[in-house]
Amino acid sequence: MNASYFSSYTRLFRVTAWILLFLSNCKSKHRLFQELTSDAVEKAKDYWILVVQKQCFPVEIKALENSMPIPAKSKIAHFNPFLQENHLRFGGISQFAPVTSEEKHSLLLDGSHHFVQLLIRHTHVRLHHLGVRIVLSELPSNYRILRGREVIKRVISGCLHAGFLKRFVVSRLKLHFQRIE
């Protein structure tokens, strides 16, 4: 399955969850006829994170699985990554921060992947089309997106609704300043 077939973050997870449920029904004798649960959607999210990491960082994952050092030319070598439950996680200096383990060792994602762009667009819309700083701070803290600010700017610049709101707010501010004078 290809993430670029989907234009909605939630639809991607729901369709993936239905496919995973269908595959598990095909494998077992006891079939489950039920609605989607939050666990099924979480499994779909986990599936897509693994797919993104395997597509974007195959050399690094292979090196870590074989207990080899990551190549120095790798774009994530300076993050001191490690594998935990087949997920590529951020090591770095944040391991000394007084936060939860999930926040210390966030999942590494490449900003060029379509899944990550769907995640950013979903967060941007959920926040009512706010700007780059707010979207960057509100992205789930358990994700570390490479070139995050740059990717968020690109996704937001493609949002027509956000562009309209930006022009509307600027024109209203000009009106208020004219009334004050």
Task: Give the pLDDT confidence of 142-153 residue by residue, as tens digits.
Answer: 888 998 899 999
Per-position b or e across 108-143, b if 16+ CB within 10 A of its CB: bbbbebebbbbbbbbbbbeeebbebeebbeebeebb
| Beta bridge mates, 83 | 88
Return mean pLDDT, the chain: 83
Band of pLDDT at residue 165, cut at 50, 70 and 90: low
Amino acid at 135: V
Cβ atoms of 88 and 65 within 8 Å: the answer is no
Whether this prediction's pTM lies above 0.85 is answered by: no
Give the pLDDT score at 56.
Answer: 94
Band of pLDDT at residue 127, cut at 50, 70 and 90: confident
Domain regions of the chain by residue span: 9-178
Q: Is the pLDDT of residue 135 over 90?
A: no
Q: Is the pLDDT of residue 167 over 60?
A: no
Mean pLDDT of the region 103-112: 85
Q: Classify residue 68 by its DSSP letter.
A: -
Mean pLDDT of the region 41-70: 94
* Phi, psi angles (nearest 5°) of residue 85: 55, 45
Cβ atoms of 10 and 48 within 8 Å: the answer is no
Band of pLDDT at residue 124, cut at 50, 70 and 90: confident
Greatest mean pLDDT range, 30-44, 85-99, 153-167:
30-44
Q: Higher pLDDT residue, 7 or 104?
A: 7
